[in-house]
Structure formats: C-alpha cells, structure tokens
Structure 1
Amino acid sequence: MKIIVLGATGLVGRAVVAALEPRHEILPVSRTSPVAADLADPASLDALLAEPADAVVCCAANVPLRPLAELTDQQVLDDLRGKLLGQVALARRAADRLADGGSITLTGGTFTEPIAGSALGALVNAGLEGFVRSAAAELPRGLRINLVSPGWISETLEAMGEDGSRGTPVAAVAEAYRDLVEGDASGTTVVPG
C-alpha cells in the first residue's frame, strides 16, 4: 500500500513510519517536509491528497494542556481548528480521493483520570471519537476510518522527568496504528496499552 503519514517527524509519527515502512510505501509529511501539509491549511490538504494513495494516517494533531480559567476564545477556536476540524477536513478529502478499500486513521487522546488543563483536549477528543464512529457508516467504496487514542507516551513522560512506566511505549502506540491500517476495523477507537 501507499500510505501518507502526516506528522511524520514527531515522536509518534516517526514510530508509525518505522512500523509501516518494512511492508508499505510511505510518504512522510510534516509542515516542513518536501511534501508539506498543515491541518490548519485546507489547500495544503487538497494538494497532498492529489497524490494517489491507499491510506492516510494523521499523527500531527495535539491540544496543549491549558487551565480552563486561562483559556481565551481564540485559543479555543485555534485548538478546535487544528486538531478537530483539521482532522475532519483531512478525512473528508481522503474519503473522496483514497483508493477503494483504503483507510483513514486519525489521532485522538485519552487519560484515565482527568488532569488539570485537559478540558479543551477532552472536548476535542470526544468530538473525534463521535465523528469517527458515525463517519464509518457513511464512507463509500469500502473505505474505513478509525482513531488511535493514546494517553501519555512513556518517552514523553521520561523527557518531562516523570516516570515513563505510567505511559505506553511509543512502539506499542505505533503498532496500534499499523494494526488499524492493515486490518479491517472501521469506526473504532483504539487505546493502546
């Protein structure tokens, strides 16, 4: 398969590329790569998906932790545009352009316990889960859509000086993406771990 991986230069994106590369042709994409795209720029998504592909994987999205009392209206809109609406825009375009039987794998996020600063992220991630669950019923031509919802990544926690054992190793997270791309599930949210 030819697979487009957005966010290919980040921690998760690099691991996903490494997990898929041995068996597939990978087009790694970031905001600064030779083939560039940005979830906040619909025109860049149109240009990216002009290339024929069998699958698209988005590892590019995040919402920073911010205290609810300090959130501005603009930050709320920016985070909704970036992670939620950007991935919805990517999925809509991919549904029109991927090969028959192709797959779309998006990135959400989850934490077992609510943490300070995560309210907006929780909103975005719940929206993505609902979108994926419902969009799966509408996709044409045997297309599939799924969501990987990692919590803390072990390597991220370690880089923050925290206990990495509270997270999931990035290699295990990458396996979840690979399993969804190569499998037959649709409309599911996978929490690696």
Structure 2
Amino acid sequence: MRILLIGAAGKLGAHVHATLADRGHDVVTVGRTSGDIRLDITDPVQATELYDRAGHIDAVASAAGDVPYNTLTKLTADDYLSAFRGKALSQIELVRQGTKRIAERGSFTLITGALARDPIVSGSAAAMANGAVEAFVRSAAIEIAPQRVNAISPTVFTESLADYGDFFPGIPPVDLTQVAQAYVRSIEGAQTGQIYELD
C-alpha cells in the first residue's frame, strides 16, 4: 500500500514509519520541517495541497497533534482553540478532504490519547481534543464506507517516561512497538469506527 504518514519525524511517527516500511508499504512522510512533503496540516489550504502533491494514496495515518498543557485556571480560550485546531480539526480535515482523494476502500488512522477517558491534572485541553477526535471517528465511520476510519488512543509511551512520566502517576505506560502495531491493525485490517485503547 502507498501510505501517507503525517508526523513521521516525531517519536511515534518514526516508529510507525519503520514498522510500515518493514512490512513492505510505500510510506510518504509528511511534516512541517522534514519529510517527503513539508506542509502544516493545521492549515486547511495546506491540507488540500498535501493531497494534490501526494498523488495516489491507499491509506492516511496521522501521528501528529499539538496541544498545550496547563492547569484549567491558566489555560486561555486561545489555548483551547489551539488544542482543537492542532489535534482535532487538523485530523478531521485529513478525513474530510481525503475521502475524495484516497482509494475507494482506503483508510484513515488518527491519533488521540488516553486523556479522553483517564484525565490528569493540566490535561483538560488535550482531553477535549482527544474526545473530539474519538467522537468524530465514530460518526465518520458510518458515513464514509467502504472507506474506513479508526483512532489509536495510547497512554504515555514507555520511551517518554523520562520526560512525561511525572504527569501520569500510577498510569501504566505503553511501548511504541505496541502502538505501531495498532496502526498496522487499523491500516491492514477491516474494522472501522474503532478506538484502539492502549494502556
């Protein structure tokens, strides 16, 4: 399959890229500052350009989404808007625009996170964005068939515990290898409307 991978340079994206390439897929990498195509998908105009430049695509996988972290009283209205644009709306646009651009039986795999169901202090903006993505996936799945859409929803990565472990006290981490396998399941499998929870 020819797969468009957004956020391929990040910790998760690099692992997903290697996993998909090892399975024989042709992976087209996308990022703001690196990759085969360099664009900012938080801009709907650039999302259109992404599909124009990508050509034939069988599947789209997203491993990108920026959200601010801070306590509720310190987050501003702009912070919440930034979280929605950075993680939810950007991925919604990938699907909205992509349904007419990818293979007839192609798929979309989006990234969300455990905060949609397991909140932490300073994570309300991320929880809001994750919840929006998950609700969208369930709704979009019943409209875009035979194309498919799923979301990967991991907790903190084992490989990121040194940086973020203190924010997730007592919450079991998940290895990037396991998260990448969930992408494989979504892309190569047949399910749709699924939230693959990894914790």
TM-score when normalising by structure 1: 0.93
In the TM superposition, 1:6-85 aligns within 5 A as 6-22=6-22, 23-33=24-34, 34-50=36-52, 51-85=55-89
> Aligned letter for 1:32?
T
Aligned mates of 1:148, 1:82 — CA distance in 2: 17
- Structure 1 pair 85/165, CA: closer, same or farther in 2 (3 Å)? closer
- Of residues 101, 110, 117, the one that matches 2:114 is 110
In the TM superposition, 1:132-171 aligns within 5 A as 132-140=137-145, 142-160=146-164, 166-171=172-177
Structure 1 unaligned spans of 5+ = none
Corresponding residue for residue 175 of structure 1: 181
Query: Do structure 1's residue 186 and structure 2's residue 188 form an aligned pair?
Result: no
What is the CA distance between 1:161 and its match in structure 2?
6.7
Corresponding residue for residue 100 of structure 1: 104
Query: What secondary structure sits across from 2:67 in the alignment?
Result: coil
Q: CA RMSD in A?
A: 1.9
Aligned mates of 1:164, 1:119 — CA distance in 2: 18
What is the CA distance between 1:139 and its match in structure 2?
0.2
Query: What secondary structure sits across from 2:45 in the alignment?
Result: helix
What is the CA distance between 1:7 and its match in structure 2?
0.2
Structure 2 unaligned spans of 5+ = none
Query: What secondary structure sits across from 1:45 in the alignment?
Result: helix
What is the CA distance between 1:164 and its match in structure 2?
11
Q: Is the 8 A contact 2:79 2:125 kept in 1?
A: no
Corresponding residue for residue 86 of structure 1: 90
- Structure 1 pair 161/101, CA: closer, same or farther in 2 (3 Å)? closer
> Aligned letter for 2:26?
E
What is the CA distance between 1:165 and its match in structure 2?
8.9
Corresponding residue for residue 5 of structure 1: 5
TM-score when normalising by structure 2: 0.90
Higher alpha-carbon deviation: 164-173 or 72-81: 164-173
What is the CA distance between 1:15 and its match in structure 2?
0.6
Query: What secondary structure sits across from 1:52 in the alignment?
Result: coil
Query: What secondary structure sits across from 2:149 in the alignment?
Result: strand
What is the CA distance between 1:131 and its match in structure 2?
0.5
Q: Percent identity?
A: 36
What is the CA distance between 1:159 and its match in structure 2?
3.9
Aligned mates of 1:113, 1:136 — CA distance in 2: 24
